[in-house]
């Protein structure tokens, strides 16, 4: 068995199916969180002033067989002549080439009030759930015997989340907890000498996100951003990014995930409707130095129906 497959199996067994243990599941991480905000904060829905559709694909640890992949699709818009916004969010995570697959479906509603001449404060609610599939038989693909545990097929777990989001033309800040129900996926009440027992529990992830846009000159802007994620049973995650925007079209910069990775980011506003974003991460941990790990990458694409409303929040930098 080659080393990449061996490591993949060890990673899966360690992070998902440790015997007689409690595994605190975390939401997927994103380097381009500043463009994928509704995934982590439902209060963002409708804040861009027009119908916005965004898709993101993330491949973690390219070159490692069975490494995680994530796909997100968000659609949101304000409701004309009201303070309401609505949206739909779909997130799909996969580990082990189909061993573990979890898909989240959520409907989102936001309410926005004016708190100053430029400042707007939004409150968001999301409701939905997730489908969990866990196929222990797929472990045969990694040259190991499958554990003595029944597979899980499309197990539905309801969930809901809350968020608050404040923004002006230059500044934004938000607090959120996208999934508040701590679902337990396995029954660990009975033990058998010949059966591996599991207890996998969804943990609440708390997010704080903020950023600002500085004018450096007529054509160049500086856009620092910060995301903090707190979840019980896991280290604090801190993402710092520094992007520069040229001529309100081309964005480039770097990011640092505390004690985890460094990243390069680039984005291009192809037209008033389309934006393309790219990001590449390189681990700063021991994992980053492995020959089979070629880093992680993201591709982001956004489409906006900018002519659907007469009154737009323009320009928008986040």
Chain segment 191-209, per-residue pLDDT in tens: 554 554 555 667 789 999 9
- Whether pLDDT at 5 is above 50: no
Of residues 9 and 150, more confidently modeled:
150
Q: What pLDDT was estimated at residue 300?
A: 97
Q: What pLDDT was estimated at residue 128?
A: 95
How confident is residue 155, by pLDDT bands cut at 50, 70 and 90? confident
Out of 63-72, 146-155, 181-190, pick the least confident.
181-190
Count Cα neighbours of 227 within 13 Å in the Cβ-side half-sphere.
24
- Whether pLDDT at 181 is above 80: yes
Task: Place domain 3-305 in its CATH homologous superfamily.
Answer: Outer membrane protein transport protein (OMPP1/FadL/TodX) (2.40.160.60)
Q: What pLDDT was estimated at residue 141?
A: 60
Q: What pLDDT was estimated at residue 41?
A: 96
How confident is residue 218, by pLDDT bands cut at 50, 70 and 90? confident
Can you tell me the mean pLDDT for 210-215?
A: 96
- Whether pLDDT at 6 is above 50: no
Q: What pLDDT was estimated at residue 13?
A: 39
- Tens of pLDDT, residue by residue over 138-147, are 766 655 555 5
Among 256, 262, 251, which residue's Cα sits nearest to residue 238? Answer: 256
**Residue 153: φ, ψ to 5°:** -125, 115
How confident is residue 96, by pLDDT bands cut at 50, 70 and 90? confident
Can you tell me the mean pLDDT for 273-297?
A: 83
Q: DSSP 3-state assignment of 150?
A: coil
Class of residue 70 by CB neighbours under 10 A (exposed 0-12, middle 13-18, buried 19+): buried
Of residues 101 and 42, more confidently modeled:
42
Q: DSSP 3-state assignment of 11?
A: helix
Q: What pLDDT was estimated at residue 144?
A: 53
């Amino acid at each position: 068995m080659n080393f990449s497959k061996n490591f993949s199996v060890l990673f899966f067994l360690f992070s998902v199916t440790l015997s007689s243990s409690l595994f605190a599941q975390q939401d997927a991480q994103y380097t381009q969180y500043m463009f994928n905000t509704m995934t982590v904060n439902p209060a963002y829905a409708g804040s861009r002033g027009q119908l916005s559709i965004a898709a993101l694909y993330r491949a973690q640890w390219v070159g490692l067989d069975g490494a995680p992949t994530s796909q997100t699709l968000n659609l949101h818009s304000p409701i004309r002549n009201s303070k309401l916004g609505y949206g739909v969010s779909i997130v799909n995570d996969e580990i082990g080439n189909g061993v573990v697959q979890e898909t989240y479906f959520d409907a989102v509603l936001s309410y926005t009030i004016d708190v100053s001449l430029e400042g707007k404060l939004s409150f968001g609610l999301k409701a939905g759930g997730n489908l969990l599939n866990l196929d222990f038989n797929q472990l045969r693909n990694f040259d190991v015997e499958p554990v003595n545990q029944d597979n899980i097929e499309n197990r539905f777990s309801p969930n809901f989340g809350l968020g608050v989001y404040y923004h002006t033309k230059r500044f934004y800040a938000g607090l959120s907890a996208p999934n508040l129900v701590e679902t337990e996926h396995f029954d660990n009440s009975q033990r058998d000498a010949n059966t591996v027992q599991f207890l996998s529990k969804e943990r609440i992830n708390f997010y704080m996100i903020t950023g600002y846009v500085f004018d450096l000159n007529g054509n160049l802007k500086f856009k620092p951003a910060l995301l903090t994620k707190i979840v019980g049973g896991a280290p604090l995650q801190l993402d710092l990014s520094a992007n520069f925007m040229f001529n309100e079209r081309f964005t480039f910069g770097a990011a640092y995930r505390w004690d985890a990775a460094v990243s390069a980011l680039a984005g291009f506003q192809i037209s008033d409707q389309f934006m393309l974003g790219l990001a590449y991460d390189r681990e700063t941990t021991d994992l980053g130095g492995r020959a089979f790990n070629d880093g992680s990458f993201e591709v982001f694409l956004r489409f906006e129906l900018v002519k659907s409303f007469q009154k737009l929040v323009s320009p928008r930098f986040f």
